[in-house]
Amino acid sequence: MAPSTNTFETLELKNVGRSFGGHDALVDLNLTVRAGEFIALLGPSGCGKSTALNCLAGLLPLTHGEILIDGKRVDILPSEKRDFGMVFQNYALFPHLSVEKNIAFGLQMRNLPKAEITRRVADGLALVKLQEQAKKLPGQLSGGQQQRVAIARAVVLEPRLVLMDEPLSNLDAKLRLEMRTEIRRLHQSLGLTTIYVTHDQEEALSLADRLVVLREGRVQQIGTPEELHNNPTNWHVADFMGYRNIVDLTVDSVTGSLARVSGHGISIMATVAQTAAVGDTVRVAIRPSDLVVLAPGESPQGRETIEATVNVVEYQGREFAVEVTTTAGQNLFVHAYSALLPGSTVQLSVDPSRALVYRTSLDQVDDSRRQLAGVPA
Amino acid sequence: MTSATNTASRAHGSASLKHRLAERGIDTKLLLLVPAIVFALLLFVYPFAYGIGLTFQPLAATQDQWGGGFLSNYVAFFRDAFIFDSVWLTLKLALPAALFNVLVSIPIAFKLRNKFRGKRLLQTLLVLPITLGTVLTAQGLLIFAGRQGWLNRFLMENGIIDQPLALVNNYIGVMLSLIISGFPFAYLLISSYLSGIDPSLEAAAKTLGANWKQRFRRVTLPLLAPGLATTFILTFVLAFSVFPSARLVGDASGDTRVLALMAYRAFSEQLDYSMASTIAIMMGVVELIVIAFVFLGRSFLYKGSTGGKG
């Protein structure tokens, strides 16, 4: 299938907002999407990501802001005139139409000549490898096959934007990985511009060129997977990005961008990601893989160590996921490369650059954190 | 198959007869069915069979007039124009009434799918006629639309018409009554069928570029059609057995000489039980023929899930 010709330079969302009654589901979403980008909207359920997608698709009218494509407003167009393809969470295949008729539906709506429809449906079927199933009804297909039909139905139209609403959430783990690769492959080979909604950070990190993290309808951070992975802008994003240890500690001293934080049997040097002053209670985020278990006799290389007792050890293939408790009773999660004995005592250390200090509040933060965290404004 | 027999023979070896019967669903719990079976036999099967039996025992007068021996009642039914025409008269009322109720319910059910202020009030008003009996409806129609009714008086006094409109005691009166009592049924059924269609299907059709006409014709209607057929059958059966309103707001010996009235007359005025039974049985036969046609049409439609996930 030929790469999509039906394209644009930029898609702009300006202060896009949506309220239901008195409740703000989405507030001031500002985002510029370049053609060919893969954007993931990420957040827990109820964060406004699906609302944002439905607003883009035209299934929900905006209550604030505008959506522009190359400077032309599209938010005033009805859904059927926007020329966006959408893949729904429950696939939304027409149950009374065969696979090929489902795929042909959008082409027929455009009154294309019969020969072209036949050709493009065949291309679409080949793209998702469902030629054998062409005459079947959606009900006779497996979940993964239905998902592929839904994707083919959206992309045969060569839409200028593809919207995907948690398309993999109804599939089992193995199929989810396969389809993830498939979606990324289609995105690249067809030159699509994709906006993808998910609550799975791993999915978002692996698929997207840029991520938008939402919480309670508000953007928390926009950035590349690396930026989000390494420099989350607040503890909520950190929590979402796999910083499983989120501990409330007190700031003892601050030197430049480093701070000494302590409490709960922990006393370590950490990097200030937001503002922090001596005496503040702060929230410190550390990934389990950054908490290193020292081998007996190994030197901590000048770093402070945390003494802890091993509670639970889970085997995870290459490594062990271990839950430990500090002397003051704080639970921590660490990764270890050898089996630890439950009940034994271990020494942990952490690179100060991999322990991030955040304010406990999630209210709008000032701009200084951007420089501190090195996130481009 | 072989494995099933194996299991059975092994079961035969160890399990008791009671257990083997229980495995096939035969146990003391079946006794709970007895009251229902007795009830059905005494109050439905026996009278129905008795009624059919009666139709083959025509009165001597019927045999003298129409001949045909024990089939004389059926000969009379088909030959006597006064009786047989009432088949067409009943169909002429029931078919359009059912069709109208179904067709008008569709757009209303569609509109009422959305949320809006006053939706519940409107829904209540639409369904309220169910709670009124046919007699009350007929009474209301007479007062409102009769020769001396409010409507005619209003129109005459304002000089809009010279002669009162004949809206009751004829075909129109019965039709109005059938619509008033049949519409709520049709509306309730269709709106429940409609709510069974996954709204994301329409959303999907929208994003694929279908305007509302195309969405209705290509997605919603095909999924709704089996439900429409069922609704049509139910409202048709209701309308076909019309009796009180045909007498109260109709023209009982002319245009609205429906089958139920003919059966009633045969038994209460002519004391001819066998003829009354014959008419009742033939009512059922005509209904079955119409239902068979609708089901035949329905068999060409998609009948699977409408939930979107297939």
The C-alpha atoms of residue B238 and residue B133 are separated, in whole angstroms, by: 13
* Nearest-by-CA chain B residue for A159: B208
Based on the domain organization, do B39 and B187 belong to the same domain?
A: no
In angstroms, the separation between the Cα of residue A267 and the nearest Cα of chain B is 53
Based on the domain organization, do B121 and B250 belong to the same domain?
A: yes
Based on the domain organization, do B41 and B116 belong to the same domain?
A: no
Does residue B15 form part of some domain? no
| Average pLDDT rounded to a whole number, residues B172-199 | 92
Q: Which residues in chain A are closer than 8 Å to B209, comparing Cβ atoms?
A: 80-81, 83, 106, 109-110, 157
Looking up tokens 């979107």 gives B308
The C-alpha atoms of residue B160 and residue B259 are separated, in whole angstroms, by: 38
Sign of the CA dihedral running A48, A51, A57, A61 = negative
Question: Which amino acid is residue B136, in one-letter code?
Answer: L
- Is residue A2 classed as helix, strand or coil in its secondary structure? coil
The C-alpha atoms of residue B23 and residue B28 are separated, in whole angstroms, by: 12
Based on the domain organization, do B208 and B126 belong to the same domain?
A: yes
The answer to whether the CB of B241 falls within 8 A of the CB of B111 is no
The answer to whether the CB of A105 falls within 8 A of the CB of A94 is yes
Residues (pLDDT < 50) of chain A are: 1-4, 365-377
B35 touches chain A (CB under 8 A): no
Cα–Cα distances in angstroms (integers) from residue B103 to residues B66, B229, B231, in the given order = 43, 11, 10
B201 touches chain A (CB under 8 A): yes
Instruction: Quote ipTM for the complex.
Output: 0.79
Q: Which helix (H) or strand (E) holds B241?
A: none
- Is residue A290 classed as helix, strand or coil in its secondary structure? helix
Helix axis angle, B119-127 relative to B171-195, nearest 10°? 130
Based on the domain organization, do B200 and B246 belong to the same domain?
A: yes
Does residue B120 form part of some domain? yes
Predicted pLDDT of residue B251:
87
Cβ-nearest to A105 among B208, B211, B307: B208
Q: Which has the closest alpha carbon to A132: A154, A87, A93, A99?
A: A99
Per-residue tokens: A118: 């036949």
* Nearest-by-CA chain B residue for A154: B208
Distance of CA A348 to the CA centre of its chain: 30
Q: Which residues in chain B are closer than 8 Å to A96, comparing Cβ atoms?
A: 222-223, 302, 304
Q: Which has the closest alpha carbon to A283: A334, A329, A248?
A: A248
Based on the domain organization, do B242 and B98 belong to the same domain?
A: yes
The C-alpha atoms of residue B11 and residue B29 are separated, in whole angstroms, by: 22
Report CB contact under 8 Å: B210, A95.
no
Please count the structural domains in chain B. Answer: 2
Distance of CA A338 to the CA centre of its chain: 31
The helix, strand and coil proportions of chain A, stated in percent and rounded to the nearest 5, come to 30, 35, 40
Does residue B148 form part of some domain? no
The C-alpha atoms of residue A250 and residue A257 are separated, in whole angstroms, by: 16
Based on the domain organization, do B109 and B237 belong to the same domain?
A: yes
Sign of the CA dihedral running B60, B62, B64, B66 = negative
Does residue B161 form part of some domain? no
Based on the domain organization, do B44 and B128 belong to the same domain?
A: no
* Half-sphere exposure (Cβ direction) of A280: Cα atoms closer than 13 Å: 18
Does residue B110 form part of some domain? yes
Predicted pLDDT of residue B307:
56
Does residue B239 form part of some domain? yes
Report CB contact under 8 Å: B306, A95.
yes
Report CB contact under 8 Å: B207, A59.
yes
Report CB contact under 8 Å: B210, A105.
yes
Per-residue tokens: B166: 């004949």
Based on the domain organization, do B213 and B260 belong to the same domain?
A: yes
Q: Which helix (H) or strand (E) holds A111?
A: none
Does residue B48 form part of some domain? yes
Q: What is the pLDDT of residues B23-80, one digit of tens each?
A: 888 888 888 999 999 999 999 999 999 999 999 999 888 888 888 888 999 999 999 9
Based on the domain organization, do B249 and B115 belong to the same domain?
A: yes
Quote the Cα angle for A316-A318-A319, to 5°.
Answer: 60
Q: What is the pLDDT of residues B8-31, one digit of tens each?
A: 455 456 778 888 888 888 888 888
Based on the domain organization, do B192 and B244 belong to the same domain?
A: yes
Mutation target to probe the A interface, by most A beta carbons within 10 A, among B117, B207, B211, B305 is: B207
Sign of the CA dihedral running B56, B62, B66, B68 = positive
B278: containing domain: 85-132+169-298
Predicted pLDDT of residue A294:
85
Predicted pLDDT of residue A6:
59
Based on the domain organization, do B65 and B99 belong to the same domain?
A: no
What backbone torsions phi and psi does residue B24 show, to the nearest 5 degrees?
-90, 10
Predicted pLDDT of residue B13:
62
Q: A111 in the Ramachandran plot: left (φ > 0), alpha (ψ -120 to 50) or beta? A: left
Residue B304 has pLDDT above 80, yes or no: no
Report the CATH number that the domain containing residue B273 is assigned in CATH.
1.10.3720.10
B252 touches chain A (CB under 8 A): no
In angstroms, the separation between the Cα of residue A150 and the nearest Cα of chain B is 10
- Is residue A214 classed as helix, strand or coil in its secondary structure? strand
Does residue B277 form part of some domain? yes
Dihedral over alpha carbons B83, B88, B90, B91 (to 10 degrees): 150
Q: Which helix (H) or strand (E) holds A55?
A: helix A49-57
Per-residue tokens: A168: 């993999």
Q: Which residues in chain A are closer than 8 Å to B203, comparing Cβ atoms?
A: 57, 59, 79, 86, 88, 92
Q: What is the pLDDT of residues B201-253, one digit of tens each?
A: 999 999 998 888 999 999 999 999 999 999 999 999 999 998 888 888 988 88
The answer to whether the CB of A44 falls within 8 A of the CB of A220 is no
The C-alpha atoms of residue A246 and residue A121 are separated, in whole angstroms, by: 50
Give residue B2's pLDDT band: very low, low, confident or very high (50, 70, 90).
very low
- Ranges of beta strands (E only) in chain A are 10-20, 23-34, 38-42, 64-69, 72-73, 84-87, 161-165, 194-198, 210-215, 218-223, 245-255, 258-263, 266-272, 281-286, 291-293, 306-315, 320-326, 331-336, 345-350, 355-359
Size of interface A-B (CB pairs under 8 A): 92
Domains of chain A: 10-230 (3.40.50.300), 235-295+305-369 (2.40.50.140)
